[in-house]
């Protein structure tokens, strides 16, 4: 299991608050003990039992639409034996010393928290039972719990959790590693659909997101950034800007992308954002960008075309003798595949509000990784990380963009330049497109060899991407365990790097969103050469049920086969049929297989239906949200694959200005139906924000080929 965490008794603190009406249980995932007291109306821990017997549960992870704000409290509530109607949910602040990792990325929330959050709830229940046992002078084992009450069946006595809160707070916290957990067969909350806690506010347009932040005396900031990524400020002429009534300050800051001591962003602060934005037209900035203006999309294409024909600069994996086996193979299949840079294109542009006062910095941030933002902001503001308080706001889209905290870093420096006033930094749409952290482009030259029986016996890939000092830049990696490399006897995976000035970052289903396309599309070509459809070729290549070791986690061939068989059965797959395409991928601990059905009418291709089968372990914690996540992944993946999503660079700068230059998925292009099935297996549950996305891209490409006879080997795809 990836990034597993555990709780200990030392990190589980019970505190009596506000006259004993409230029990606070602070269950940190670090071992250092802390003691916390606060008024009963302040959430400072995971659990707060209120006087009316409702229970407030803190949701610690950032909410980005993945449903974690409900999912994590469900785990605690289940083990506390609550009725869901009793539960109230509040977003916690960012405080990893108390709550442990608080990240929205990598589909890690479920595997990281499945046991720890259940242990939090079980420990709370144990303390309440202990308090009741003392009150009634009975053995704790004679007591049961249900719907927020402790029950002694023999005497008919019962007591609400609220009535026991003060006494329970005095009980010693149990050893969380040994606290008994519920029999999974008795779950009443886990596995039952629970709606999003923020949905009423979202559909009625109530303030909720970072962009909605309003504070007394707040002022507004617009940014001016060097068009060519990596360029820095040489000089500023701000006289005309400062002469504008309502402009309060002009300051140069470091977004975190350039070396310390340099500035790549100028912030204009005014009494309204519109005034600050318009003032940018009068700002004179000279940029030091001579070393970064030579990067263009055309140059990348030309350089990659040369590199891919040469020997790789480095080896990722070599097993057996790929060249020797290819020379004797019954059939050899070759193909080149590539994909472009992509933007995140979140609907809510980047924003952050900060207040610097009395040497402390208070921040309201829609961040997927607030701990990283805390460290970087503190460093560039010359503060200690402990001097920062970070309030987490809901995010209006992120897809990995908000794992990077440039907006927080800029807001912190802007607020420090104007102490005592909350400063709200807001990117406009062009700022967002031109200063993203992009999914890197990549080029692949594949060669595969089949023996006389059609078995895959040799495989080569020369992957050209972006790197520095012989290492890939962020999000440009390829794992040596890309399927089917681990099950092929003769493999040669090589890599070569080019330079880029662009900031890069993780896009939803990072690396997998690109690798799934090239590997599964090429495997469809290989399967066809073997006289098989892709599902059957996958079954034969997977071989016997077993676990194949990986860099971080193993790959279970039986789980892969399980979802392949399930989706083929549900879709009625009969082999190669016109207008149908298949794709499989394992990523973020999830196994998913998908089938895309297309049709053509009057020369126009439409996506009729997508079939999805996924294995995320033994439990689907919140079924309605799981369904939404899988369907959203499919739509997002198709959007990444279709024509219109491509980032173009000229003279070191990005050309896109708005959604007209980077089209998002429209309703009329979405599948008419998306059928989702979960294959339950005897493994701990894993995340769902990402693993359902990758397979749909090759499934779509393979479906286009089966419908039109045209093999698409580069993204974005054309639906013809």
Rounded Cα gap, residues 313 and 7, in angstroms: 45
Rounded Cα gap, residues 638 and 666, in angstroms: 11
Element containing residue 251 per DSSP (H, E): strand 247-253
Which residue shows structure tokens 């001579």? 290
Asked if residue 697 is part of any domain, the answer here is yes
Asked if residue 158 is part of any domain, the answer here is yes
- Do 455 and 369 share a structural domain? no
Burial class (CB in 10 A: 0-12, 13-18, 19+), 469: exposed
Asked if residue 654 is part of any domain, the answer here is yes
Asked if residue 206 is part of any domain, the answer here is no
- Do 559 and 445 share a structural domain? yes
Domain count, the chain: 3
Contacts of 557 (CB under 8 A, 6+ apart): 487, 542, 543, 544, 545, 546, 547, 548
Is residue 26 within 8 Å of 34, Cβ to Cβ? yes
Cβ neighbours around 290 below 10 Å, total = 10
- Both tokens of 621, joined, read 């914690």
So what's the pLDDT on residue 16? 27
pLDDT in tens, 515-563: 999 999 999 999 999 999 999 999 999 999 999 998 788 999 999 999 9
Burial class (CB in 10 A: 0-12, 13-18, 19+), 119: buried
Contacts of 250 (CB under 8 A, 6+ apart): 236, 238, 241, 242, 266, 267, 268, 269, 283
- Do 528 and 487 share a structural domain? yes
Q: Nearest Cα to 431, choosing from 298, 299, 266?
A: 266
Give the SS3 label for residue 439: strand
Phi (first) and psi of residue 683, to 5 degrees: -135, 155
Residue 123: give its domain's CATH number: 3.30.365.10
Q: What is the 3-state secondary structure (H, E, C) of 23-69?
A: EEEEECCCCCCCCCCCCCCCCCCCEEECCCCCEEEEECCCCCCCCHH
Instruction: For residue 294, give the DSSP letter.
Output: T
- Both tokens of 522, joined, read 């090429």
Instruction: Write out the residue range of the structural domain in which residue 178 sits.
Output: 9-199
Asked if residue 719 is part of any domain, the answer here is no
Last residue of a domain, one of 169, 199, 229: 199
Last residue of a domain, one of 177, 199, 221: 199
Q: Nearest Cα to 410, choosing from 370, 380, 384?
A: 380
Contacts of 590 (CB under 8 A, 6+ apart): 107, 614, 615, 616, 686, 687, 688, 690, 691, 692
Rounded Cα gap, residues 36 and 24, in angstroms: 9
- Do 241 and 145 share a structural domain? no
Rounded Cα gap, residues 636 and 506, in angstroms: 15
- Do 699 and 555 share a structural domain? yes
Cα 641–chain centre separation: 19
Which residue shows structure tokens 């149990």? 174
Phi (first) and psi of residue 610, to 5 degrees: -125, 130
Rounded Cα gap, residues 220 and 427, in angstroms: 11
Q: Nearest Cα to 296, choosing from 229, 226, 225?
A: 229
Asked if residue 556 is part of any domain, the answer here is yes
- Do 303 and 383 share a structural domain? no
- Do 371 and 334 share a structural domain? no
Last residue of a domain, one of 368, 402, 426: 426
- DSSP states of 402-418 as a string? GGS-HHHHHHHHHHHHS
What's the average pLDDT block by block, 10 residues per block, for the chain (720 residues)?
36 30 38 29 63 94 97 97 97 93 96 95 94 98 98 98 90 89 97 97 96 98 98 98 98 97 98 98 98 98 98 98 98 98 97 98 98 98 98 97 98 98 98 98 98 98 97 97 96 98 98 98 98 98 94 93 98 96 98 97 91 98 98 96 92 97 91 97 97 98 96 90
pLDDT in tens, 299-339: 999 999 999 999 999 999 999 999 999 999 999 999 999 99
- Do 692 and 630 share a structural domain? yes
So what's the pLDDT on residue 7? 37
- Do 165 and 17 share a structural domain? yes
Asked if residue 704 is part of any domain, the answer here is yes
Asked if residue 205 is part of any domain, the answer here is no
- Do 319 and 370 share a structural domain? no
Q: Nearest Cα to 528, choosing from 324, 322, 335?
A: 335
Cβ neighbours around 407 below 10 Å, total = 29
For the sheet containing 47-49, what is the strand order?
Answer: 12-17, 22-27, 47-49, 55-59, 87-91
Rounded Cα gap, residues 715 and 684, in angstroms: 35
- Do 221 and 163 share a structural domain? no
Rounded Cα gap, residues 487 and 526, in angstroms: 15
Is residue 531 within 8 Å of 452, Cβ to Cβ? no
* Strand partners of residue 604: 601
- Do 450 and 419 share a structural domain? no
């Amino acid at each position: 299991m990836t990034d597993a965490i555990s709780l200990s008794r030392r990190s589980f603190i019970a505190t009596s608050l506000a006259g004993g009406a409230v029990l606070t249980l602070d269950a940190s995932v670090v071992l250092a003990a802390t003691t916390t007291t606060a008024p009963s109306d302040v959430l400072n821990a995971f659990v707060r039992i209120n006087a009316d017997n409702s229970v407030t549960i803190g949701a610690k992870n950032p909410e980005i639409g993945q449903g974690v704000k409900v999912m994590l409290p469900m785990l605690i509530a289940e083990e506390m034996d609550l009725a869901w109607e009793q539960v109230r949910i509040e977003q916690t602040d960012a405080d990893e010393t108390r709550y442990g990792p608080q990240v929205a990325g990598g589909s890690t929330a479920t595997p990281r928290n499945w046991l720890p959050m259940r242990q939090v709830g079980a420990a709370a229940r144990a303390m309440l039972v202990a308090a009741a046992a003392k009150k009634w002078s009975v053995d704790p084992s004679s007591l049961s719990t249900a719907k927020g009450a402790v029950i002694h069946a023999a005497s008919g006595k019962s007591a609400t959790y609220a009535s026991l809160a003060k006494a329970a707070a005095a009980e010693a916290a149990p050893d969380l590693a040994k606290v008994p957990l519920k029999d999974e067969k008795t779950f009443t909350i886990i596995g039952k659909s629970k709606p999003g806690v923020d949905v009423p506010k979202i559909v009625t347009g109530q303030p909720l997101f970072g962009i909605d932040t309003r504070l007394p005396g707040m002022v507004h900031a617009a940014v001016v950034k060097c068009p060519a990524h990596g360029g820095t400020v040489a000089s500023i002429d701000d006289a005309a800007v400062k002469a504008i009534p309502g402009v309060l300050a002009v300051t140069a800051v470091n977004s975190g992308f350039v070396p310390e001591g340099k500035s790549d962003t100028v912030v204009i602060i005014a009494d309204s954002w519109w005034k600050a934005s318009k003032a940018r037209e009068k700002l004179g900035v000279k940029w030091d960008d001579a070393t970064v203006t030579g990067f263009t999309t055309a140059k990348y294409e030309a350089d990659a075309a040369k590199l891919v024909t040469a020997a790789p600069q480095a080896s990722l994996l070599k097993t057996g003798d790929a060249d020797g086996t290819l020379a004797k193979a019954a059939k050899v299949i070759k193909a080149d595949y590539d994909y472009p840079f992509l933007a995140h294109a979140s609907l809510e542009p980047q924003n952050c509000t900060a207040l610097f006062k009395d040497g402390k910095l208070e921040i309201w941030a829609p961040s997927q990784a607030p701990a990283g933002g805390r460290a970087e902001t503190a460093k560039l503001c010359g503060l200690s990380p402990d001097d920062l308080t970070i309030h987490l706001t809901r995010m209006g889209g992120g897809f990995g963009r908000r794992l990077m905290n440039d907006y927080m870093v800029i807001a912190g420096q802007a607020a420090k330049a104007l102490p005592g006033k909350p400063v709200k930094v807001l990117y406009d749409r062009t700022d967002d497109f031109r200063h993203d952290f992009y999914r890197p482009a990549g080029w692949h030259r594949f060669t595969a060899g089949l023996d006389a029986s059609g078995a895959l016996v040799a495989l080569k890939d020369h992957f050209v991407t972006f790197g520095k000092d012989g290492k890939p830049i962020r999000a440009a990696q390829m794992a040596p365990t890309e399927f089917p490399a681990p099950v092929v006897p003769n493999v040669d995976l090589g890599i070569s790097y080019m330079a880029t000035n662009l900031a890069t970052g993780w896009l939803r289903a990072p690396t997998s969103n690109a690798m799934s396309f090239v590997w599964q599309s090429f495997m469809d070509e290989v399967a066809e050469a073997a006289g098989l459809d892709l599902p059957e070729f996958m079954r034969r290549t997977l071989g016997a049920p077993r676990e194949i070791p990986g860099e971080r986690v193993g790959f279970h061939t039986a789980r892969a086969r399980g979802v392949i068989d399930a989706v083929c059965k549900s879709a009625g797959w009969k082999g190669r049929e016109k207008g149908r395409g298949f794709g499989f991928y394992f990523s973020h601990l999830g196994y998913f297989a998908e089938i895309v059905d297309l049709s053509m009418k009057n020369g126009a291709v439409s996506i009729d239906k997508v079939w999805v089968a996924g294995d995320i372990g033994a439990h689907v914690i919140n079924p309605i949200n799981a369904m939404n996540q899988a369907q959203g992944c499919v739509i997002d993946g198709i959007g990444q694959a279709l024509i219109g999503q491509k980032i173009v660079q000229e003279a070191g700068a990005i050309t896109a200005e708005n959604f007209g230059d980077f089209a998002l998925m429209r309703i009329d292009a979405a599948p008419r139906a998306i059928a989702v099935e979960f294959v339950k297996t005897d493994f701990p549950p894993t995340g769902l924000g990402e693993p359902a996305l990758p397979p749909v891209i090759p499934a779509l490409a393979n479906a286009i080929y089966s419908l039109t006879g045209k093999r698409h080997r580069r993204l974005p795809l054309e639906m013809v």
